[in-house]
A = this chain, B = another copy of it.
């Protein structure tokens, strides 16, 4: 556990103080100039690069602790940093710095017959709480996205990544200071005591406007059950790939292998492959052979097990399991109807892909499935704010309120109306 920085205050008092500081910071951030925020972000990115050795050293300690604690390979992969990934962190901050400042942006404007001119203008949300587990890059992405969108942020990282997060946070503070912004704009909760999460869920006396949980099922479930403030829920990614009979086989194989195997520990990795029964004679065995060659375990329904010797039988539980591992469940379905039915029943409404040349199939898949992201002829691993051009993301929201899909700077804003008249009164 980290030492409590603020003179060993009790957790409730510590968190109340953090909340107050965040609210004050939010008030000044809301009217901070775009240039100042951009300068802070640029300085943050430079500080991350300059401190890369410290960050990697801290990460080694987290990885060792993780191994000793018996962490799974997929979770270790989420936790692990190397030179490339640290460079990725600073590149991501720079990408966020380069985004258009959303605050003050006129989203819509119109005139009324009585001469009133109405503008809908973006505003920050206020104070954002991010509760996350093992991914240290969340520290940087969340800090940078909140700053760009004019919000103060309270980061509460997991004990798994405590050293890495702290090293990254120090770089962020250096950037804030360099631009003359208050360091309380991006606070990292200096204790891994779980009571700190409890305080955040209670809302810090009205000083927390929204909570974003990033982590496993039990964390998200606790946050959703207990939070007294709005939550942008990031549930699991139980993503599907459907291969239609009209699919190009080579493309289908490339997409399925990438969707499953590129990184198995990310929420956009595919967990279930649905194959059109009409594609069985042509597509099924080559697809499964390619997956197996890539090192993937196959768990199939009866039809799959019968046709592919290497497949183990899937149980009912498999269709609801986010493996985050080199395992895929495979089911034969009756065309796009069967795929839609299966997905609407089992999906976590995160991301689904269809591989097909028949565009009528694609339109039905796009219209009748209600998931945050639907892809045609592309890998589910594109479910990522950076890949969407948002610079980065705090997470992929699977709820439908306010934010859905990758949560980037725009999703971290609200809006207000500015109405200009010349003496109008209402009849």
Contacts and interface: CB of A to CB of B under 8 A. Distances in A.
Interface in A343-385: 362, 366-368, 370-379, 381-382, 384
A149 to B, nearest CB: 12
Given A401-B401, A421-B376, A370 B230 contact: no
A417 B378 contact: no
A163 B30 CA distance: 47
A405 interface: yes
B420 A31 contact: no
Interface string A228-251: 001000000000000000001001
B379 A424 contact: yes
Interface in A186-230: 209-210, 230
B370 A110 contact: no
Contacts of A259: 425
Instruction: Name the residue in A112, A116, A257, A378 with the highest tally of chain B Cβ atoms < 10 Å from its Cβ.
Output: A378
A73 to B, nearest CB: 20
Contacts of A366: 418
Interface string A320-334: 000000000000000
A372 B418 CA distance: 9
**Which has the most chain B C-beta neighbours within 10 Å: A31, A374, A419?**
A419
A96 to B, nearest CB: 17
B401 A414 contact: yes
Nearest to A355: B423
A264 interface: no
A230 B399 CA distance: 10
Contact of A381 (B405, B423, B425): B425
A416 interface: yes
A123 interface: yes
Given A258-B425, A387-B426, A401-B210, A419 B382 contact: yes
B426 A416 contact: no
Residue with the highest number of chain B CB atoms closer than 10 Å, among A368, A382, A389, A404:
A382
Interface centre among A262, A389, A421 (most CB of B within 10 A): A421
B379 A426 contact: yes
A402 B405 contact: no
A374 B425 contact: no
Interface string A257-274: 111001000000000000
Interface of A: 30-31, 104, 110, 112, 116, 118, 123, 125-126, 209-210, 230, 248, 251, 254-255, 257-259, 262, 362, 366-368, 370-379, 381-382, 384, 387-389, 399-402, 404-405, 414-426
8 contacts: A31-B368, A110-B389, A209-B400, A230-B401, A366-B418, A373-B416, A374-B418, A377-B423
